[in-house]
Structure 1
Amino acid sequence: MTLEIVRLGHLGDGIADGPVFVPRTLPGEVVDGVVKDGVLGAPKIVTPSEHRVKAPCRHYNACGGCALQHADDAFVSDWKVGVVRTALAAKSLEAEIRGIATSPPNARRRAKLSGRRTKKGAIVGFHARGSDTLTPVPDCTVLSPRILALLPVLETLTVQIASRKGEVSYTVTAAEAGLDLAVDGAKEMTDALRFDMARFAQEAQLARLSWHGELLLTLAAPTQQFGDVSITPPPGAFLQATKHGEETLLAAVEEATKGAKSILDLFAGCGTFALPLARRAPVHAIEAVPDMMEALDAGWRMSQGLKKVTTETRDLYRRPLDAEELASFDAVVIDPPRAGAEAQSEHLTGSKVAQIAFVSCNPVTFARDAKILVDGGYRLNWVTVVDQFRWSPHVELAASFTRTDMSV
């Protein structure tokens, strides 16, 4: 069957009339192949797009980690900005979109890899698209060189700790003192294995090793730098994917909260925004995970030259702050998970908070929440699109809101 691709879907797949989903194709391309259950899985490109390029990574055809390496950078940037614009338009919203900040190749400082034993050894890498097949990625163009250097070491480790048919999960984070490795799905810990893992951590020059969610050993504090403050996140804690992306988001948040004399940081994590903002104003940080709040508080107490930072452990989905609790803050920073912050946005419309810096990893839920804020008396001033997950369909953004009606 011959088809023409008319647009891309939210996962980066080409879509032809029907709809028929055709992976790794671009709008305007004519493709041929067999359609099964609404998918043309192995397309032959009859007429390529002018934006089609040779993928920069040699693993692209087999690996499912990236979805858009067959498109040139200009196309991907325009498409991601378009995803945000379309999400806003669906809610009848308009805003200045200040372009897109794309992280460079090999900048990913945090990754989740899988490991599996084979007859000849082991494979560590990413799954193929929609498959259990594991693809080794020694020349990945996304991961940082420090993480890439660990891959052969993890292959050796997988032979030792994986079951015959099971799969091990490795979460690797690049810290200043070394790599922070969290292992899941491995064999249960024994005294003998504990001894072996201590030796492994030393030989691999790890900063910290965690096993099934429990800290196994720390050889050096796996610190991260937020502004002028060093913090030690708990194992597996959230961290922006690239330093470039973090710096872009922070610059947007600082601009959106400029002049505020008291700041509330919601879904604060370990202090990505709270600690740098405390250089100029007191900050109250709220996060649902106690260990993250403890890390943030410890970092602040060990720092110098910052305003007061207070912390609160609280599930903002179950207990969003109401107007009375919001009354003492000039500005609010919100950086929720993909589900967004619908309930908290509703409460903000009943408050007198003058400035909101909204960070989102989901344009659709952001547009929903932005509509609530705009209908409740806020103006959406601008949006900066951020592409930390280069060559993936993932889109992030930061936005500025100001209250237009202070008589609330």
Structure 2
Amino acid sequence: MKLELSIEALGAKGDGIAREDGRPIFVPYALPGERFEVVEHGSERADPVAILQKSPERVEPPCPHFGACGGCDLQHAGPDLYRRFKRSLVIDALASRGLETQVHDLAPCLPRTRRRAVFTAQRIGGSTVFGFHARLSDRIVPLHVCHVVVPAIADRLDALRKLADLIAPRKGELRLTVTASDAGLDIAASDALKLDDKRRREIVSFAIGQDFARLTVGSETLVETRRPGVAIEAFRVEPPPGAFLQAVASAEEAMASLVTAHLSGAKQTADLFAGIGTFALRLARKSAVRAFETDAPALAAIEKAKRTASGLKPLSVERRDLFRRPVTAKELGSFDALAFDPPRAGAEAQSRELAISKVGRIAAVSCNPATLARDCRILVDGGYKLLSVTPIDQFLWSHHVEAVALLER
């Protein structure tokens, strides 16, 4: 059924929201103030057919894959609208938990700066399709260009496609985590084809010929011509294959600047969900730090980086699953400052321990405004004051936004 709809606002995932008979209808790639002809797709969704009235804030998307590839939701939104939208995601999440504080302007992210990306490949009809998933779909959109990733990755899409063709399973999807390291491309493949000796030799020969720094398939590193590393300030850290890494270096620096400034002056600092030491290494310049993380190879990377550094305060690590066994309020008694940066699920159990602790200052980093707001609500109810929140753009042209919340007792 065709309808004409007027778009009133943007939803949390970047869709335009219209109303028909009092019910919301979500229209992808639509902007507030626009009027669309659409075809209904379910009770709350519609597919755009034609734009009848454009917003003055609509711009021409730079990528030819826009509208097919699901990686970018908002390339059509002008810069002012885009910044307002991402900031509003944080404001609305906080408001949903009854929290008000200073929410700063969005820290920006430039095109072609994403140094880590996860691609998908699948065998279909005798050939391998390589790219990103289409929006709300299992279908993979073949990529020929990408305006988000750094040139070191974007310029090698053909080589990555050929690699995927060598290792994609006969059924199911292959995932390639590609990181632009200081030594070249670091590639980790998961859900790959089971390799026999002939295929393994073929893959090794191809990877060496393409000058990849490292190629890991499952748990097996097939090629390591150079040891991949990334810079964390003046530290060189060697991430394990497929390790979590802040996707954009400038976004990481913006987050770290907020965290280190807020926790400055502390004598004993805890870094929870520490990863490869994004905050722990920086904080250890001025404070003793204990880094908690469940991934043993990530902790080993911190330890190795620490051994090659000079002028650090004591930095120790502890392997710990903070979802199953959060650091207790009693254990937190030895720390006067703390940073945490959990996965999207947030740090609810840990926040409950923090809420009854005596830690003076907290820097909470999150890629999910909803769980950040929930955790901040727990901390505020426990006696903390929410000083400010800063949204940070790390996933350009998507509806995802990072944020750093600063709290103190």
> TM-score, length-normalised on structure 2?
0.95
> 1:216 offset after TM fit, Å?
2.3
| CA deviation string 1:140-189 (max 9, x = no partner) | 11011111122111222233333455432211011100111011233212
Within 1, Cα distance between the matches of 2:128 and 2:324? 43
> 1:197 offset after TM fit, Å?
2.1
Equivalent positions of 1:306-325 (< 5 A) are: 306-325=312-331
> 1:109 offset after TM fit, Å?
0.5
> 1:139 offset after TM fit, Å?
2.2
Matched, 1:52 2:58: yes
- Which amino acid is the alignment partner of residue 153 of structure 2? I
Distance 1:311 1:55, change over 3 A: same
| CA deviation string 1:296-337 (max 9, x = no partner) | 112112221111110001111111111210011110001011
- Which amino acid is the alignment partner of residue 174 of structure 1? A
Which position in structure 2 is the counterpart of 1:221? 227
Which position in structure 1 is the counterpart of 2:25? 20
SS at match of 2:161: helix
Equivalent positions of 1:130-169 (< 5 A) are: 130-163=136-169, 166-169=172-175
Within 2, Cα distance between the matches of 1:215 and 1:172? 14
SS at match of 1:114: strand
Q: Is the 8 A contact 1:63 1:126 kept in 2?
A: yes
Equivalent positions of 1:6-405 (< 5 A) are: 6-17=8-19, 18-37=23-42, 38-117=44-123, 122-163=128-169, 166-403=172-409
Within 2, Cα distance between the matches of 1:231 and 1:5? 47
SS at match of 2:62: coil
Within 2, Cα distance between the matches of 1:322 and 1:33? 53
> 1:121 offset after TM fit, Å?
5.4
Within 2, Cα distance between the matches of 1:322 and 1:133? 44
| CA deviation string 1:350-372 (max 9, x = no partner) | 11111101101111111111111
Within 1, Cα distance between the matches of 2:175 and 2:351? 36
Q: Is the 8 A contact 1:29 1:47 kept in 2?
A: yes
- Which amino acid is the alignment partner of residue 283 of structure 1? V
- Which amino acid is the alignment partner of residue 85 of structure 2? W
Q: Sequence identity of aligned pairs in percent? A: 46
SS at match of 1:152: helix
- Which amino acid is the alignment partner of residue 7 of structure 1? A
Within 2, Cα distance between the matches of 1:200 and 1:238? 26
- Which amino acid is the alignment partner of residue 314 of structure 1? R
- Which amino acid is the alignment partner of residue 12 of structure 1? G
Within 2, Cα distance between the matches of 1:53 and 1:331? 44
Within 1, Cα distance between the matches of 2:169 and 2:324? 39
Distance 1:164 1:289, change over 3 A: closer
Q: Is the 8 A contact 1:138 1:151 kept in 2?
A: yes
SS at match of 2:399: coil
> 1:120 offset after TM fit, Å?
8.4
Within 1, Cα distance between the matches of 2:377 and 2:249? 30
SS at match of 2:7: strand
